[in-house]
Amino acid sequence: MLGQGMVLEHHQSKFVYKAMTIIGVIWLLCVSVIFVQYRQTAKMSDDVVELGNHIMSFHNSLHFRSPYRVIHTNDMSLNIQLIYSLRVQLEADYEHSVFQPDVTHLIYVIDKFIEKSQLFLSSDLDVLNMAEQLKLFRSEYENQPDIRRYYVDLGAYLFEALFTEGEQSPEIYRSLDKIMVASQSMSPDDRQHLQLTLAKVSKLLSEYAESGYLVNRLLQHEIYQELHTLENEYFKLFGFINVLLLVLSGLLIASLFVVVMFCQRQCRRVVESLHSDENEPVSEKSAEKNKGKKEVLTDVQHLPVAGTSVESKIDIPQMLSSLNDDKESVKMLLRVFIEDHYEDGEKLQKQISSDLGAAMRTAHSLKGVAGTIGANELRIIAIDIEAKLKREEIPTDEEIQALTTSLDETVKSAQFWLEQASI
Protein backbone atom coordinates (compact mmCIF):
# COMPACT_ATOMS: atom_id res chain seq x y z
CA MET A 1 0.00 0.00 0.00
CA LEU A 2 2.90 2.36 0.74
CA GLY A 3 4.43 1.64 -2.65
CA GLN A 4 1.12 2.26 -4.40
CA GLY A 5 0.88 5.56 -2.57
CA MET A 6 4.33 6.47 -3.89
CA VAL A 7 3.20 5.68 -7.43
CA LEU A 8 0.07 7.76 -7.04
CA GLU A 9 2.07 10.62 -5.54
CA HIS A 10 4.53 10.48 -8.44
CA HIS A 11 1.71 10.41 -10.97
CA GLN A 12 -0.05 13.27 -9.19
CA SER A 13 3.13 15.37 -9.19
CA LYS A 14 3.62 14.87 -12.93
CA PHE A 15 0.01 15.75 -13.69
CA VAL A 16 0.13 18.86 -11.51
CA TYR A 17 3.43 19.93 -13.08
CA LYS A 18 2.05 19.57 -16.61
CA ALA A 19 -1.18 21.37 -15.75
CA MET A 20 0.69 24.21 -14.03
CA THR A 21 3.05 24.51 -16.99
CA ILE A 22 0.17 24.82 -19.47
CA ILE A 23 -1.69 27.31 -17.29
CA GLY A 24 1.51 29.28 -16.70
CA VAL A 25 2.28 29.48 -20.43
CA ILE A 26 -1.25 30.69 -21.22
CA TRP A 27 -1.01 33.25 -18.42
CA LEU A 28 2.36 34.50 -19.63
CA LEU A 29 1.04 34.89 -23.18
CA CYS A 30 -1.90 36.93 -21.93
CA VAL A 31 0.34 39.06 -19.71
CA SER A 32 2.76 39.62 -22.62
CA VAL A 33 -0.08 40.91 -24.81
CA ILE A 34 -1.26 43.18 -22.01
CA PHE A 35 2.29 44.42 -21.41
CA VAL A 36 2.68 45.35 -25.10
CA GLN A 37 -0.66 47.16 -24.94
CA TYR A 38 0.44 48.93 -21.74
CA ARG A 39 3.67 50.15 -23.38
CA GLN A 40 1.76 51.47 -26.40
CA THR A 41 -0.72 53.22 -24.13
CA ALA A 42 2.07 54.71 -22.00
CA LYS A 43 3.91 55.97 -25.12
CA MET A 44 0.85 57.66 -26.58
CA SER A 45 -0.21 59.02 -23.21
CA ASP A 46 3.25 60.60 -22.79
CA ASP A 47 2.93 62.15 -26.25
CA VAL A 48 -0.45 63.66 -25.36
CA VAL A 49 0.81 64.96 -22.00
CA GLU A 50 3.91 66.56 -23.54
CA LEU A 51 1.79 68.05 -26.30
CA GLY A 52 -0.56 69.49 -23.71
CA ASN A 53 2.34 71.00 -21.76
CA HIS A 54 3.63 72.90 -24.81
CA ILE A 55 0.14 74.06 -25.78
CA MET A 56 -0.49 75.36 -22.25
CA SER A 57 2.87 77.13 -22.33
CA PHE A 58 1.83 78.89 -25.53
CA HIS A 59 -1.59 79.61 -23.97
CA ASN A 60 0.07 81.29 -20.99
CA SER A 61 2.19 83.44 -23.31
CA LEU A 62 -0.97 84.85 -24.88
CA HIS A 63 -1.82 86.54 -21.57
CA PHE A 64 1.31 88.72 -21.74
CA ARG A 65 0.87 92.41 -22.53
CA SER A 66 1.59 93.33 -26.12
CA PRO A 67 5.12 94.78 -25.74
CA TYR A 68 6.36 91.84 -23.69
CA ARG A 69 4.61 89.34 -25.96
CA VAL A 70 6.14 90.85 -29.10
CA ILE A 71 9.61 90.58 -27.58
CA HIS A 72 9.05 86.83 -27.04
CA THR A 73 7.53 86.20 -30.45
CA ASN A 74 10.50 84.07 -31.55
CA ASP A 75 10.15 81.86 -28.48
CA MET A 76 6.45 81.44 -29.16
CA SER A 77 7.19 80.51 -32.79
CA LEU A 78 9.65 77.86 -31.61
CA ASN A 79 6.97 76.50 -29.28
CA ILE A 80 4.55 76.18 -32.21
CA GLN A 81 7.19 74.23 -34.15
CA LEU A 82 7.58 71.83 -31.21
CA ILE A 83 3.82 71.41 -31.05
CA TYR A 84 3.76 70.48 -34.73
CA SER A 85 6.60 67.95 -34.22
CA LEU A 86 4.71 66.32 -31.36
CA ARG A 87 1.58 66.25 -33.48
CA VAL A 88 3.46 64.34 -36.20
CA GLN A 89 4.89 61.93 -33.62
CA LEU A 90 1.45 61.32 -32.10
CA GLU A 91 -0.03 60.55 -35.52
CA ALA A 92 2.80 58.10 -36.33
CA ASP A 93 2.43 56.27 -33.00
CA TYR A 94 -1.34 56.02 -33.45
CA GLU A 95 -0.95 54.38 -36.89
CA HIS A 96 1.15 51.57 -35.36
CA SER A 97 -1.01 50.98 -32.29
CA VAL A 98 -4.15 48.97 -31.55
CA PHE A 99 -6.96 49.40 -29.03
CA GLN A 100 -6.01 53.03 -28.36
CA PRO A 101 -8.31 56.06 -27.93
CA ASP A 102 -9.04 57.81 -31.22
CA VAL A 103 -6.74 60.85 -31.69
CA THR A 104 -7.78 61.78 -35.23
CA HIS A 105 -10.05 64.59 -34.02
CA LEU A 106 -7.32 65.90 -31.74
CA ILE A 107 -4.89 66.00 -34.68
CA TYR A 108 -7.45 67.94 -36.72
CA VAL A 109 -7.96 70.43 -33.87
CA ILE A 110 -4.18 70.82 -33.47
CA ASP A 111 -3.83 71.69 -37.15
CA LYS A 112 -6.47 74.42 -36.79
CA PHE A 113 -4.79 75.73 -33.64
CA ILE A 114 -1.39 75.88 -35.35
CA GLU A 115 -2.90 77.66 -38.33
CA LYS A 116 -4.46 80.41 -36.19
CA SER A 117 -1.31 80.68 -34.08
CA GLN A 118 0.87 81.23 -37.12
CA LEU A 119 -1.47 84.00 -38.34
CA PHE A 120 -1.24 85.65 -34.96
CA LEU A 121 2.53 85.33 -34.72
CA SER A 122 3.05 86.68 -38.22
CA SER A 123 1.61 90.06 -37.16
CA ASP A 124 3.91 90.19 -34.14
CA LEU A 125 6.86 89.25 -36.34
CA ASP A 126 5.92 92.08 -38.73
CA VAL A 127 6.09 94.49 -35.79
CA LEU A 128 9.60 93.32 -34.95
CA ASN A 129 10.67 93.62 -38.59
CA MET A 130 9.23 97.13 -38.84
CA ALA A 131 11.08 98.16 -35.71
CA GLU A 132 14.34 96.97 -37.26
CA GLN A 133 13.58 98.78 -40.55
CA LEU A 134 12.82 102.09 -38.82
CA LYS A 135 16.03 101.76 -36.83
CA LEU A 136 17.92 101.23 -40.10
CA PHE A 137 16.21 104.19 -41.79
CA ARG A 138 17.15 106.52 -38.92
CA SER A 139 20.75 105.48 -39.37
CA GLU A 140 20.63 106.13 -43.13
CA TYR A 141 19.31 109.68 -42.63
CA GLU A 142 21.70 110.55 -39.83
CA ASN A 143 23.03 113.50 -41.90
CA GLN A 144 19.53 114.68 -42.90
CA PRO A 145 17.90 115.58 -39.59
CA ASP A 146 14.73 116.98 -41.25
CA ILE A 147 13.93 113.67 -42.92
CA ARG A 148 15.27 111.58 -40.05
CA ARG A 149 12.78 113.35 -37.75
CA TYR A 150 9.88 111.89 -39.76
CA TYR A 151 11.14 108.35 -39.28
CA VAL A 152 11.59 108.96 -35.56
CA ASP A 153 8.03 110.28 -35.35
CA LEU A 154 6.78 107.39 -37.48
CA GLY A 155 8.28 104.85 -35.07
CA ALA A 156 6.87 106.67 -32.06
CA TYR A 157 3.38 106.90 -33.58
CA LEU A 158 3.48 103.24 -34.62
CA PHE A 159 4.35 101.82 -31.24
CA GLU A 160 2.06 104.28 -29.48
CA ALA A 161 -0.81 102.97 -31.60
CA LEU A 162 0.11 99.34 -30.96
CA PHE A 163 0.90 99.39 -27.28
CA THR A 164 -1.30 102.13 -25.77
CA GLU A 165 -5.03 102.54 -25.29
CA GLY A 166 -7.20 103.00 -28.35
CA GLU A 167 -8.42 106.56 -27.50
CA GLN A 168 -5.25 108.05 -29.02
CA SER A 169 -5.61 106.20 -32.33
CA PRO A 170 -7.44 109.01 -34.26
CA GLU A 171 -4.76 111.53 -33.30
CA ILE A 172 -2.05 109.09 -34.33
CA TYR A 173 -3.64 108.57 -37.73
CA ARG A 174 -3.88 112.36 -38.23
CA SER A 175 -0.19 112.60 -37.40
CA LEU A 176 0.54 110.00 -40.05
CA ASP A 177 -1.46 112.03 -42.57
CA LYS A 178 0.68 115.08 -41.75
CA ILE A 179 3.81 113.07 -42.48
CA MET A 180 2.27 112.05 -45.82
CA VAL A 181 1.62 115.73 -46.69
CA ALA A 182 5.14 116.72 -45.64
CA SER A 183 6.63 114.06 -47.90
CA GLN A 184 5.32 115.92 -50.98
CA SER A 185 8.01 118.57 -50.58
CA MET A 186 10.89 116.06 -50.56
CA SER A 187 13.03 114.84 -53.40
CA PRO A 188 11.48 112.03 -55.49
CA ASP A 189 13.64 109.30 -53.96
CA ASP A 190 13.16 110.45 -50.38
CA ARG A 191 9.43 110.99 -50.97
CA GLN A 192 8.98 107.52 -52.45
CA HIS A 193 10.96 105.91 -49.63
CA LEU A 194 8.97 107.69 -46.91
CA GLN A 195 5.57 107.08 -48.54
CA LEU A 196 6.39 103.35 -48.98
CA THR A 197 7.25 103.15 -45.29
CA LEU A 198 4.01 104.94 -44.41
CA ALA A 199 2.05 102.39 -46.45
CA LYS A 200 3.72 99.49 -44.63
CA VAL A 201 2.96 101.10 -41.27
CA SER A 202 -0.69 101.61 -42.19
CA LYS A 203 -1.00 98.00 -43.31
CA LEU A 204 0.71 96.82 -40.13
CA LEU A 205 -1.71 98.82 -37.99
CA SER A 206 -4.65 97.32 -39.86
CA GLU A 207 -3.38 93.75 -39.45
CA TYR A 208 -2.44 94.25 -35.84
CA ALA A 209 -5.97 95.41 -35.06
CA GLU A 210 -7.11 91.87 -35.87
CA SER A 211 -4.54 90.25 -33.56
CA GLY A 212 -6.69 90.94 -30.49
CA TYR A 213 -9.49 88.93 -32.08
CA LEU A 214 -7.04 86.08 -32.84
CA VAL A 215 -5.78 86.12 -29.26
CA ASN A 216 -9.31 85.67 -27.93
CA ARG A 217 -9.96 82.85 -30.39
CA LEU A 218 -6.74 81.07 -29.33
CA LEU A 219 -7.49 81.53 -25.62
CA GLN A 220 -10.92 79.94 -26.08
CA HIS A 221 -9.89 77.27 -28.58
CA GLU A 222 -11.47 73.80 -28.31
CA ILE A 223 -8.04 72.14 -28.20
CA TYR A 224 -7.89 72.52 -24.41
CA GLN A 225 -11.12 70.59 -23.89
CA GLU A 226 -10.05 67.96 -26.42
CA LEU A 227 -6.75 67.40 -24.58
CA HIS A 228 -8.56 67.10 -21.25
CA THR A 229 -11.01 64.56 -22.69
CA LEU A 230 -8.25 62.46 -24.24
CA GLU A 231 -6.18 62.46 -21.04
CA ASN A 232 -9.23 61.14 -19.14
CA GLU A 233 -9.64 58.35 -21.71
CA TYR A 234 -6.03 57.27 -21.21
CA PHE A 235 -6.50 57.38 -17.45
CA LYS A 236 -9.52 55.05 -17.78
CA LEU A 237 -7.56 52.75 -20.11
CA PHE A 238 -4.73 52.44 -17.58
CA GLY A 239 -7.30 51.54 -14.92
CA PHE A 240 -8.83 48.89 -17.18
CA ILE A 241 -5.41 47.34 -17.85
CA ASN A 242 -4.65 47.18 -14.12
CA VAL A 243 -8.01 45.52 -13.42
CA LEU A 244 -7.39 43.05 -16.25
CA LEU A 245 -4.02 42.10 -14.77
CA LEU A 246 -5.64 41.53 -11.37
CA VAL A 247 -8.35 39.36 -12.95
CA LEU A 248 -5.77 37.29 -14.84
CA SER A 249 -3.75 36.81 -11.66
CA GLY A 250 -6.89 35.71 -9.83
CA LEU A 251 -7.75 33.27 -12.62
CA LEU A 252 -4.22 31.87 -12.47
CA ILE A 253 -4.46 31.22 -8.73
CA ALA A 254 -7.97 29.78 -9.08
CA SER A 255 -6.92 27.49 -11.94
CA LEU A 256 -3.95 26.16 -10.02
CA PHE A 257 -6.14 25.57 -6.98
CA VAL A 258 -8.71 23.69 -9.08
CA VAL A 259 -6.00 21.51 -10.65
CA VAL A 260 -4.53 20.58 -7.28
CA MET A 261 -7.94 19.87 -5.74
CA PHE A 262 -9.02 17.78 -8.73
CA CYS A 263 -5.82 15.74 -8.63
CA GLN A 264 -6.11 15.18 -4.88
CA ARG A 265 -9.74 14.08 -5.25
CA GLN A 266 -8.85 11.59 -7.98
CA CYS A 267 -5.97 10.18 -5.95
CA ARG A 268 -8.19 9.94 -2.88
CA ARG A 269 -10.68 7.85 -4.79
CA VAL A 270 -7.98 5.48 -5.99
CA VAL A 271 -6.46 5.20 -2.52
CA GLU A 272 -9.86 4.48 -1.01
CA SER A 273 -10.39 1.65 -3.49
CA LEU A 274 -6.98 0.18 -2.63
CA HIS A 275 -7.02 0.85 1.08
CA SER A 276 -6.77 -2.24 3.26
CA ASP A 277 -5.19 -3.55 6.43
CA GLU A 278 -5.96 -0.22 8.14
CA ASN A 279 -6.85 -2.05 11.39
CA GLU A 280 -4.05 -4.64 11.27
CA PRO A 281 -1.75 -4.53 14.33
CA VAL A 282 1.34 -2.47 13.76
CA SER A 283 3.67 -5.23 15.00
CA GLU A 284 2.30 -7.78 12.51
CA LYS A 285 2.54 -5.33 9.63
CA SER A 286 6.09 -4.37 10.53
CA ALA A 287 7.19 -8.00 10.87
CA GLU A 288 5.68 -9.00 7.54
CA LYS A 289 7.08 -5.92 5.81
CA ASN A 290 10.58 -6.54 7.15
CA LYS A 291 10.38 -10.18 6.19
CA GLY A 292 9.29 -9.22 2.69
CA LYS A 293 12.17 -6.76 2.36
CA LYS A 294 14.67 -9.46 3.35
CA GLU A 295 13.30 -12.20 1.11
CA VAL A 296 12.24 -10.24 -1.95
CA LEU A 297 15.82 -9.71 -3.04
CA THR A 298 16.35 -13.47 -3.28
CA ASP A 299 12.95 -14.83 -4.18
CA VAL A 300 12.15 -12.36 -6.94
CA GLN A 301 15.55 -12.79 -8.57
CA HIS A 302 14.96 -16.58 -8.84
CA LEU A 303 11.47 -16.35 -10.30
CA PRO A 304 11.27 -18.28 -13.55
CA VAL A 305 10.96 -16.28 -16.75
CA ALA A 306 7.33 -16.03 -17.82
CA GLY A 307 6.27 -17.56 -21.03
CA THR A 308 3.92 -16.16 -23.61
CA SER A 309 0.82 -17.53 -21.85
CA VAL A 310 1.76 -15.69 -18.66
CA GLU A 311 2.12 -12.32 -20.36
CA SER A 312 -1.66 -11.88 -20.53
CA LYS A 313 -2.06 -12.15 -16.73
CA ILE A 314 -1.51 -8.38 -16.51
CA ASP A 315 -3.31 -5.92 -18.80
CA ILE A 316 -0.53 -3.45 -19.55
CA PRO A 317 -2.59 -1.33 -22.00
CA GLN A 318 -5.19 -0.85 -19.26
CA MET A 319 -2.52 0.33 -16.83
CA LEU A 320 -1.06 2.76 -19.37
CA SER A 321 -4.50 4.16 -20.12
CA SER A 322 -5.37 4.66 -16.44
CA LEU A 323 -2.00 6.32 -15.77
CA ASN A 324 -2.03 8.58 -18.85
CA ASP A 325 0.71 6.55 -20.60
CA ASP A 326 3.13 7.17 -17.73
CA LYS A 327 5.46 4.19 -18.23
CA GLU A 328 7.58 4.95 -15.18
CA SER A 329 4.51 4.80 -12.95
CA VAL A 330 3.52 1.45 -14.52
CA LYS A 331 6.95 -0.01 -13.78
CA MET A 332 6.94 1.34 -10.25
CA LEU A 333 3.48 -0.13 -9.60
CA LEU A 334 4.61 -3.54 -10.88
CA ARG A 335 7.68 -3.49 -8.62
CA VAL A 336 5.50 -2.55 -5.64
CA PHE A 337 3.10 -5.39 -6.47
CA ILE A 338 5.92 -7.95 -6.52
CA GLU A 339 7.49 -6.63 -3.31
CA ASP A 340 4.30 -6.29 -1.24
CA HIS A 341 2.11 -9.15 -2.49
CA TYR A 342 4.25 -11.98 -3.88
CA GLU A 343 3.57 -14.14 -0.77
CA ASP A 344 -0.02 -13.11 -0.03
CA GLY A 345 -1.18 -16.66 -0.88
CA GLU A 346 0.76 -18.22 1.98
CA LYS A 347 -0.12 -15.33 4.32
CA LEU A 348 -3.82 -15.71 3.52
CA GLN A 349 -3.74 -19.46 4.23
CA LYS A 350 -2.19 -18.83 7.66
CA GLN A 351 -4.61 -16.01 8.50
CA ILE A 352 -7.65 -18.17 7.66
CA SER A 353 -6.74 -20.56 10.44
CA SER A 354 -6.07 -17.80 13.01
CA ASP A 355 -7.79 -14.49 12.12
CA LEU A 356 -10.60 -14.30 9.56
CA GLY A 357 -10.69 -10.48 9.80
CA ALA A 358 -7.04 -10.20 8.81
CA ALA A 359 -7.60 -12.76 6.04
CA MET A 360 -10.51 -10.70 4.69
CA ARG A 361 -8.37 -7.55 4.64
CA THR A 362 -5.61 -9.40 2.80
CA ALA A 363 -8.07 -10.63 0.18
CA HIS A 364 -9.52 -7.12 -0.13
CA SER A 365 -6.07 -5.60 -0.60
CA LEU A 366 -5.16 -8.24 -3.18
CA LYS A 367 -8.43 -7.57 -5.00
CA GLY A 368 -7.66 -3.83 -5.16
CA VAL A 369 -4.09 -4.13 -6.38
CA ALA A 370 -5.15 -6.78 -8.93
CA GLY A 371 -7.68 -4.33 -10.34
CA THR A 372 -5.06 -1.59 -10.45
CA ILE A 373 -2.56 -3.62 -12.51
CA GLY A 374 -5.24 -5.21 -14.71
CA ALA A 375 -4.87 -8.78 -13.32
CA ASN A 376 -8.53 -9.68 -13.92
CA GLU A 377 -8.20 -13.41 -13.17
CA LEU A 378 -6.54 -12.78 -9.82
CA ARG A 379 -9.08 -10.08 -9.00
CA ILE A 380 -12.07 -12.39 -9.62
CA ILE A 381 -10.63 -15.11 -7.36
CA ALA A 382 -9.88 -12.56 -4.62
CA ILE A 383 -13.43 -11.19 -4.85
CA ASP A 384 -14.91 -14.65 -4.32
CA ILE A 385 -12.68 -15.39 -1.33
CA GLU A 386 -13.37 -11.96 0.22
CA ALA A 387 -17.11 -12.53 -0.17
CA LYS A 388 -16.91 -15.89 1.67
CA LEU A 389 -14.83 -14.38 4.44
CA LYS A 390 -17.36 -11.56 4.88
CA ARG A 391 -20.00 -14.24 5.39
CA GLU A 392 -17.59 -15.86 7.89
CA GLU A 393 -17.24 -18.92 5.63
CA ILE A 394 -13.93 -20.74 5.22
CA PRO A 395 -12.66 -20.85 1.59
CA THR A 396 -11.88 -24.35 0.30
CA ASP A 397 -8.36 -25.58 -0.26
CA GLU A 398 -9.02 -25.55 -4.02
CA GLU A 399 -9.96 -21.83 -3.88
CA ILE A 400 -6.86 -20.99 -1.84
CA GLN A 401 -4.72 -23.01 -4.24
CA ALA A 402 -6.33 -21.25 -7.25
CA LEU A 403 -5.54 -17.86 -5.71
CA THR A 404 -1.96 -18.89 -4.93
CA THR A 405 -1.43 -20.22 -8.47
CA SER A 406 -2.95 -17.12 -10.07
CA LEU A 407 -0.88 -14.88 -7.79
CA ASP A 408 2.34 -16.73 -8.74
CA GLU A 409 1.54 -16.41 -12.44
CA THR A 410 0.70 -12.71 -12.01
CA VAL A 411 4.00 -12.11 -10.21
CA LYS A 412 5.82 -13.93 -13.04
CA SER A 413 3.96 -11.76 -15.56
CA ALA A 414 5.00 -8.60 -13.71
CA GLN A 415 8.59 -9.94 -13.68
CA PHE A 416 8.37 -10.58 -17.40
CA TRP A 417 7.17 -7.07 -18.22
CA LEU A 418 9.83 -5.49 -16.03
CA GLU A 419 12.82 -7.56 -17.22
CA GLN A 420 12.13 -8.79 -20.73
CA ALA A 421 9.56 -6.43 -22.26
CA SER A 422 9.76 -2.73 -23.05
CA ILE A 423 6.73 -0.86 -21.78
What are the tens digits of pLDDT across the range 112-142? Answer: 999 988 887 877 777 778 888 888 888 888 8
Most confident of 95-99, 160-164, 201-205: 95-99
Q: pTM to 2 decimals? A: 0.52
Residue ranges of the chain that CATH labels 1.20.120:
282-419
Q: What is the DSSP-derived secondary structure letter of residue 1?
A: -
Most confident of 33-42, 137-146, 292-301: 33-42
Residue 297 confidence (pLDDT): 34
Continuous segment of H or E residues that includes residue 169? helix 169-182
What is d(CA 133, CA 274) in angstroms, rounded to the nearest whole number?
108
What is d(CA 80, CA 119) in angstroms, rounded to the nearest whole number?
12
What is d(CA 91, CA 85) in angstroms, rounded to the nearest whole number?
10
What is d(CA 218, CA 236) in angstroms, rounded to the nearest whole number?
29
- For residue 327, give every residue at least 6 positions away whose Cβ sits within 8 Å of its Cβ, in sequence order, or none: 320, 423
Residue ranges of the chain that CATH labels 1.20.58:
11-235
What is d(CA 375, CA 362) in angstroms, rounded to the nearest whole number?
16
CATH class of the structural domain 282-419: mainly alpha
What is d(CA 369, CA 379) in angstroms, rounded to the nearest whole number?
8
The model's pLDDT over 314-328, given as tens digits with 9 standing for 90+, comes to 888 888 887 788 888
Over residues 36-56, the mean pLDDT reads 91
Residue 257 sits at the vertex; the CA angle it makes with 254 and 263, to the nearest 5 degrees, is: 140
Residues in the chain: 423
Continuous segment of H or E residues that includes residue 203? helix 188-219
The model's pLDDT over 191-245, given as tens digits with 9 standing for 90+, comes to 888 888 888 888 777 776 677 778 888 889 999 999 999 999 999 999 999 999 9
Q: Helix, strand, or coil here: 421? A: coil
Q: Is the pLDDT of residue 296 over 90?
A: no
CATH code assigned to 11-235: 1.20.58
What is d(CA 148, CA 141) in angstroms, rounded to the nearest whole number?
5
Q: Which of 118, 44, 114 is nearest to 83 (CA)?
A: 114
What is d(CA 319, CA 338) in angstroms, rounded to the nearest whole number?
16
Q: How many CB atoms lie within 10 A of CB 171?
A: 12
Most confident of 11-20, 92-101, 207-216, 267-276: 92-101
- For residue 122, give every residue at least 6 positions away whose Cβ sits within 8 Å of its Cβ, in sequence order, or none: none
Rounded to the nearest 10°, the torsion over CA 296, 301, 302, 308 is: 110
